[in-house]
């Protein structure tokens, strides 16, 4: 095992940016083939691929190949099984395993990455995201679960990136006390975060609201 992992590090550890992107699929399969752990090898490989692409592409974690692989589970497992096959003939690479199958998995892997980029690009279009968030806020206000004008705070944070607490009262045209009540309600619902009682407000995306704010991001729970 140490020899396998040493070879893995030597091959995939010192690549340039373009080579790292292209080799991510090969590294994914090869780690699974080495199978260094008694359990959890698949999760580790998907986490590794997510981390590698996040770092080399500076994605900020906005998309993950792991989600795409989970959504294409049958094709994913079929490609991995094919990559485990021995070399078919003299035209199928020079190693012990099939190079043709590894190339096919690489195409599948990179296509999955592009699919996830397109999915997230569409999901976080500012106007569409704004509409979904404001629709949710409107429903919560009608149900007396959030105070009036809460949507204006979220909209401001969404487009500014952050909102100083001192700006909220003027934004909502209300007293400081009323503004603090609105902010407190949004913090309690987990849609805003702040490092301290005086720090700026930031938008966050609670997992519980994913079906409303980010539809399709997570699989629907069975009925």
List pLDDT tens digits, range 187-211.
999 999 999 999 999 999 999 999 9
Angle formed by the axes of helices 17-34 and 41-57, to 10°? 170
- Whether 175 shows a pLDDT value over 60: the answer reads yes
- Cα 216 versus chain centre, distance: 12
List pLDDT tens digits, range 44-53.
999 999 999 9
Q: Which residue has the tokens 């309600």?
A: 185
Distance between CA atoms of 55 and 42, rounded to whole angstroms? 20
Distance between CA atoms of 137 and 89, rounded to whole angstroms? 62
Q: What is the pLDDT of residue 220?
A: 65
Distance between CA atoms of 29 and 79, rounded to whole angstroms? 9
Give the chain's mean pLDDT.
94
Q: What is the pLDDT of residue 91?
A: 87
Nearest C-alpha neighbor of 48 from the set 24, 21, 15: 24
The structural domains of the chain, with segments of one domain joined by +, span: 2-123, 126-213
Q: Is 179 exposed, middle or buried (0-12, 13-18, 19+ CB in 10 A)?
A: buried
Q: What is the pLDDT of residue 93?
A: 87
List pLDDT tens digits, range 71-120.
999 999 999 999 999 999 888 888 899 999 999 999 999 999 999 999 99
Fold type of domain 126-213: Arc Repressor Mutant, subunit A (1.10.10)
Quickly count: other Cβ atoms within 10 Å of residue 44's Cβ: 14
Q: What is the pLDDT of residue 218?
A: 81
List pLDDT tens digits, range 107-116.
999 999 999 9
Enclosing H/E stretch for 193:
strand 192-193
Confidence of residue 186 (pLDDT cuts 50, 70, 90): very high
Write out the DSSP string of 112-173: HHHHHHHHHHHHT-HHHHHHHHHHHHHHHHHTTSS-TTHHHHHHHHHHHS-B-GGGHHHHHT
- Whether 222 shows a pLDDT value over 70: the answer reads no
- Whether 223 shows a pLDDT value over 70: the answer reads no
List pLDDT tens digits, range 131-164.
999 999 999 999 999 999 999 999 999 989 999 9
Q: What is the pLDDT of residue 208?
A: 92
Distance between CA atoms of 102 and 108, rounded to whole angstroms? 10
- Whether 123 shows a pLDDT value over 60: the answer reads yes
Alpha helices in the chain (DSSP H): 2-12, 17-34, 41-57, 65-71, 73-83, 99-123, 126-142, 150-160, 168-172, 176-188, 210-213
């Amino acid at each position: 095992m140490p020899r396998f992992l040493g070879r893995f590090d030597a091959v995939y550890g010192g690549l340039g940016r373009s080579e790292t992107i292209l080799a991510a699929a090969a590294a994914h399969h090869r780690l699974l083939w080495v199978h260094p752990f008694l359990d959890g090898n698949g999760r580790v490989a998907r986490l590794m691929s997510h981390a590698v692409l996040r770092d080399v592409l500076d994605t900020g974690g906005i998309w993950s190949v792991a989600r795409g692989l989970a959504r294409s589970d049958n094709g994913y497992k079929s490609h991995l099984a094919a990559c485990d096959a021995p070399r078919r003939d003299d035209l199928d690479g020079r190693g012990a395993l099939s190079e043709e199958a590894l190339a096919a998995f690489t195409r599948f892997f990179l296509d999955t990455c592009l699919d996830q980029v397109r999915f997230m690009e569409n999901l976080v279009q500012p106007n569409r995201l704004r509409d979904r968030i404001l629709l949710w806020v409107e429903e919560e206000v009608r149900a007396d679960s959030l105070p009036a004008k809460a949507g204006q705070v979220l909209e401001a944070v969404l487009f500014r990136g952050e909102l100083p607490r001192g700006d909220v009262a003027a934004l909502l045209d209300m007293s400081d006390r009323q503004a603090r009540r609105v902010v407190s309600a949004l913090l309690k619902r987990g849609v805003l975060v702040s490092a301290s009682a005086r720090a700026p407000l930031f938008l966050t995306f609670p997992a519980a609201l994913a079906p409303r704010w980010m539809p399709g991001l997570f699989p629907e729970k069975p009925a």
